[in-house]
Every structure is written in structure tokens, then in C-alpha cells.
Structure 1
């Protein structure tokens, strides 16, 4: 007599249990996978910054100084003629001393081809007439100013200058950067230094203002040498990471205009004239964003251009602080705040799309991930500047604690903490 064999299989209940277990495991694994991806992106970002630091070291080895920031070419007797934003028949034009520290580093970061385009005159349409002189036009020009002869080098996205965690891409940006020059611990004169424009007689007050307030590794319109960094290369920030704008009202990327001075022009440390001048415009429900209707600053030459292109890190070749500069007043990922318009001084802390902090590049080439909670002294204190009434006159230690001290190159402050822990 034959026995009938029962066919092997799973019951519906067993299948549902297995599916439920798989779903739970996937749910548990997804955050770990995302965290692993972000860790890889953060490592890639750090490597990009290290490449930039190595380029600085090689540049200094070649030229015995670091590349100048907010410098370039200009016709000093009349810097507005010919118009630096437009191609000029016969090859006129200049960049109005508006280049950031980045163009000069291109040959040292494997961008020799792009450097060749920039360092030579450009005949855009091949008609035998030079459209742009060597070192290009003013990078602040909008796409509307480019007309039929765009200066393509300034519009080029350079992978080494981009953090993989920053999703910003495409227009209205015109060549994004996530790495900004450190301009010190004071906004005063951070956008011009002691630059003399239009052939003016040198201004003694400007020279005093620069010496007092422009205390970072990079000083507008000047070249810094390693020998000028008396606080030590390993104790001084050369550059910081910045997040670029995504077109929202993010407090780290969209610049509002300060309702009062950000530089304590009244000399009153208890007044609203300080780094916190814009804080009252933060959205109480979404504190990472500005409240709707906040007075965002614009460019005085933005005619025909997009307001969004005048946000953080949208023009890598442009040397003004909003686009390629940072300072050590408020801690990383704090709000930015501009004085007057997008070309002027600002409270511009580093920022990132990483969790809990942002990368900084030390002058010795080391890359450190700086926490948002770094000790930053008294944020409401007036900055160091030159004035007869200044609360913190020239030579004062940074009022912004360890964070401020790391941003100064020669203030004789002692750093008692290891940054690599």
C-alpha cells in the first residue's frame, strides 16, 4: 500500500511573518546605510579640502606667498573704464581686482587647462578680435551681462571645489564653491582691506583699519606669507567650508540685510549693533530659516540677473566675502548677516550639509571637522576695529573665544586645545 506524501511548503501565516521580519530588518538597516553614505561623502569633502590645502602649500613654495584674495587686474586711474562686466572690442576690460584666492591655485590642483584659458586673452567667437584680456572680466557679472560672449572659465564647475554632501547644482549659480578663505575675526574692511580704487591718494585711515581689523590668513587686496602667521600654522584657520544656496531662506546661505550695524559703530557693546543684528528675523517656528518677508540684500548691479545668484558660494572666482570668504565670529552653521549689500562686510560663519559642524582648513594643510558647539566667547561683543572709541581696539585678543583666536594670524593668543581629537 502506497503512502501519499504531503507536499512541502509555507503557510500564508509563515510567509507573512517572514515578510514582516524582512521589513523590520530593512527599516533598521536603512539609517545605517544612509549614515555610511554620508560618512563617505564627508570623507570625500575632507579630501577635497586637503587637496586645496596642498595647492596652497605648493603655491607658497613657488611664489613665497599665498594667493591674493580680492585682487586681480585693474586700470587704476579709472577702474570703471572700460566696463569690466562686458566684452570690449579690441580686447579691453579687466576684472576690477575682484578675483578670489581660488583662480591662482588652479595650476596646483590639476586644473592646468582651465588656468591656460584664464591666463591668456580669449577670442570667444574666433573672429580674430580679443573679447577678454588675460585674467578675465569681473566675476560678479550676471548671466545677462555675459551677452553673446560668455566668459566660460568663471562659469565652470570644478569638482575639487564641491562638497559631495551639498546638493546645490546648476543655475542660477555660476560656478559654485564650498570652500571659502578665512578673513579673520572682524567684519570691518573684510571686503576691501586697504585697496585704493580710482587712483585715489592712499588713505591713512584705511591703512589703520586694515592693520587693526583684517587679522585673518587672507586679507583683501594683499598677499600673505607664512612668516606673517605668527600664531603658528597649525593654530590658524586658512579656509572654511560653506554650504551653497538651494534657493530657500536658509539662514546659512541667504543673506539678509542687518537692520542695524554689525560692527558696533556706536561703540555700545550692549546695543543691537553686533554680530546678532539679524537674529530677530529668524522664523520662530523654523529657526533654521529666515521669516517670510525678511529684507534680503541684493546686488547693485543685478539688473537682468537673478537675486538667487547673490547667495552663498555661487561664484567661485568672485572675491567678495559672501561668495568666497568666511570669518570666525559666530560658530559654524550660525546665521549669516550682511551690512548694506551683498558686496560689503558680513557676519559669515562656515557651514555645511554635514551633521553637527563644518570642515576647516588650517594653514599647515590639516583639515579639522569643527563642531557647532566650539567655544566662541561673547557673540554680542563688538569686533576689533580701528576707531578712537573702539571697545576692542587694535591689538585686542579676539572677543570670540577659541573660535575667534583660531581665525587670527598674529594676535598672540594661546590655543590650549588639540583640534584633532
Structure 2
């Protein structure tokens, strides 16, 4: 009688095949993750290129850059404490990104912002219309302020939704110093313009953009290809990340952040140096975090400066509406993107030369670094200033 043999795998062979497949998957997965991050990083770079093109088209149309800190202002209406603060105006709090919207294919959003807006969309009711250019940028009920614009988001940043309004991962460069960078060339108090503050603003506002000032390409004496126009940021995820949650506990000068760019480093968790230690005084407002208001011109939301290398701690001398050390940062490995004045996008690494982080910044009246001084923050500081005439090498 002829025996028939059954074909198939033995248990040992099957286990060997499963083990081999497991090893191959384990080897392949990091490569897949790296490829995905490379694609996200390329998409982020393309977003920046589009912003650079929008910036140049804006300048071509208006012969100036969009103003960081534009909008409406009425001195006869001062702040309250609710959603109708500053009725009839927005306290000149709009970011340069607002002015760029029609130049990066957000014409519909711009039309909503630049025209009066009926709150309940019912024309039969009166007295419920926000003025053109919108209310204060913290008013969530105004739809444009709460809109997430895809081109302002880096795909590598997972931050989404509440408590933020519309998020942004891209901010304008306000220089290598901090004195008066939150005010720029304008300050109002006691129903009068404080013109005597202009000397402080001229000394400290050394970036590509200046708050509430009409900047132009011709102002960039160091050359557009040698000066950073905008930089990447990360948005807050609800943790104590030192790059997104503002440290407000260190004051100004001489022992605060204007005297030492790295003054907040002592507040980092030694076990997790990217996070603040427990007990450190941080900004408490839910929407007062890095990148949480795309339309707001405050330093925390839409500005970067260049006192330190990428991914350094966010260190302010006061609360969220003040100013401080606000480096570029990203979820990419080892650095962050920047947009140069000529429209080129570059990736600067965490190891870029940044001078002495324990040094004070340039400001009016300083004995160490008076107005007009060379940046004390090395290559990164030189790239962040528009007209300090530093010599920068390729980076």
C-alpha cells in the first residue's frame, strides 16, 4: 500500500518564520517613522516657503512688510475684564499673519476680518456688529480668531483644539534683544502717546519686524539673505514643556532675563530638562501659551527672538503680555526651521553658535551692550538683527 505524505509547515518552521517576520518589522518600523517625519519636515518647510512668497508679494503690493501690531485703536474706550474689552477696536493687537492672509490663499478669511461682522448673522437686529478688523484677538466668539489655518501649522506638531484659539507654528523675528519688543514704536498711557519711549524701542527692537512699525526691506542693512524674517515655534500640549509654557518668575535687570538670557535654566527639572520643575511659577491662563493665538501680536503667540539657540526655555520677565527670551523651537529632531528675508528656508541646529547665554541683551542705557552694539549672542544673534553689520558665515 502506497503512503501519501501531507505537505505543510511544522510547528518549528512556523515559529521560525514568525520570528523572522517580527525581526524584519522591527527593523523596518524605525525607517518608516523616519520617512514619515522627513515628509512632515518637508511639508513644514513648504509652508514656510509659501509664507516667504506671501511676504514678498505683500511688500511688492504695499512697499512695506505687514505690520506686527496693526489694527484699530480708540483712546476713549479702555479695558474692562470681559469678552467685550476695548469696544470698537482691538488695541492694535493684530499679528503680521493677519495682513498676509489674502496672500496665502485665505482671501475668504481676510474678507471676514476686514469687514464688519454681524455676531448673530441676523441683519434685523442692531448693536451686535463687530467693527472691521475685528474685536480683541482673545475674543473666541469672533470666528476668524478661533480658526486653525492649515498653512500656519507644522505637521510634526500634534497640538490641536481647545483651550487654544487658532494655533500657529510660525512667528516673526523681533531681534536679539527684549527691551520694548512687546511695545515697539508705540505706547499709550493716561490718554496720551508716550513718545519718549521711542529711544528705548529704537535701541531694543533690532529684528526683521518691529511691533507697530512700518518695516521695509530697505531697513535690512545686513542683507535679506543674511537676516532671519520668521522662525518656527511649537505649540503647548498642556504639559510643563519649557518651550511652550511661560516662566514668569525671574524679573528684568540686572538679575532677570534682560541681564541674563539663561536665567530661567535653574528652574528646569534636572531629571527631564525639557520641562519645568514642580513649584516654578508659570503663566496660568489657559490660552496664554506659545502659539495659541495666531492673530495676536504678543511675543508669546507670534514672535521669536534670537538670544539663544533653538529649543531653549521660554523665559519672560513678567506675564504673558510682556516679553522675554523666546527662541525658535520645533518637534523636528535637533533644531528648527527659519525663513530668511530673501525667502529661503533653512534648518538651524541646536548646536549653532550662540555666544554667552549668561550675557545681557542690548538696550538703551546699558553699559555692557549699549544701543547699536554688536549682538552678544554670536551667530544666532547676528542672523536675528537687521542692521548691526555683523559678519556671518554660512550655516
- TM-score category of the 2 structures, normalised to the smaller one: over 0.9
Q: Does 1:313 align with 2:291?
A: yes
Where does residue 264 of structure 2 map in the other structure? 278
Q: Distance in 2 between matches of 1:81 and 1:28?
A: 59
Whether contact under 8 Å (1:84, 1:93) holds in the other structure is no
Say yes or no: does 1:381 pair with 2:381.
no
Q: Which residue of 1 aligns with 2:104?
A: 109
1:36 aligns with 2:35: yes
User: What does residue 54 of structure 2 align with?
Assistant: 55
In structure 2, what is the Cα distance between the partners aligned to 1:332 and 1:116? 36
> Structure 1: where are the runs of 5+ without partners?
144-149, 299-306
- Among candidates 179, 196, 203, match of residue 195 of structure 2: 203
Gaps of 5+ in 2: none
- Residue of 272, 278, 281 corresponding to 1:295: 281
Deviations 1:337-373 (A, max 9, x none): 0111100011000111110000001111111011011
Tell me by how many angstroms 1:272 deviates: 9.4
Query: What's the offset of the Cα at 1:390?
Result: 3.0
The answer to whether the 8 Å contact 2:231/2:339 transfers is yes
Deviation at 1:72, TM superposition (A): 1.2
- Aligned residue in 2 for 1:348: 326
Residue 196 of structure 1: CA displacement?
2.9
Q: Distance in 1 between matches of 2:13 and 2:79?
A: 81
Superposition TM-score, scaled by structure 2 size: 0.95
Equivalent residue runs for 1:157-168 within 5 Å: 157-168=148-159
Q: Specify the alignment match of 1:14 in structure 2.
A: 13
Structure 1 Cα separation of the partners of residues 393 and 270 of structure 2:
37
With 5-14 and 116-125 compared, the bigger mean Cα shift is at 5-14
Name 1:400's counterpart in structure 2: 377
Partner of 1:413: 390
| Aligned match of 1:147 | none
Note the alpha carbon deviations across 1:223-276, whole angstroms, 9 max, x for none. Answer: 110000010001000110000000000010000113242xxx33x89x993111
Q: How many angstroms does 1:171 deviate by?
A: 0.2
User: Structure 1 residue aligned with 2:131, among 127, 130, 133?
Assistant: 133
Residue aligned with 1:212, SS = helix
Deviation at 1:8, TM superposition (A): 1.6
Question: Secondary structure of 2:391's match?
Answer: coil
Farther-moved stretch of structure 1 (209-218 vs 252-261): 252-261
Contact 1:297 1:338 in 2 (8 A): no
Cα distance, 1:98 vs. partner?
0.5
Pair 395,79 (structure 1): closer, same or farther in 2 beyond 3 Å: farther
Distance 1:244 1:62, change over 3 A: same
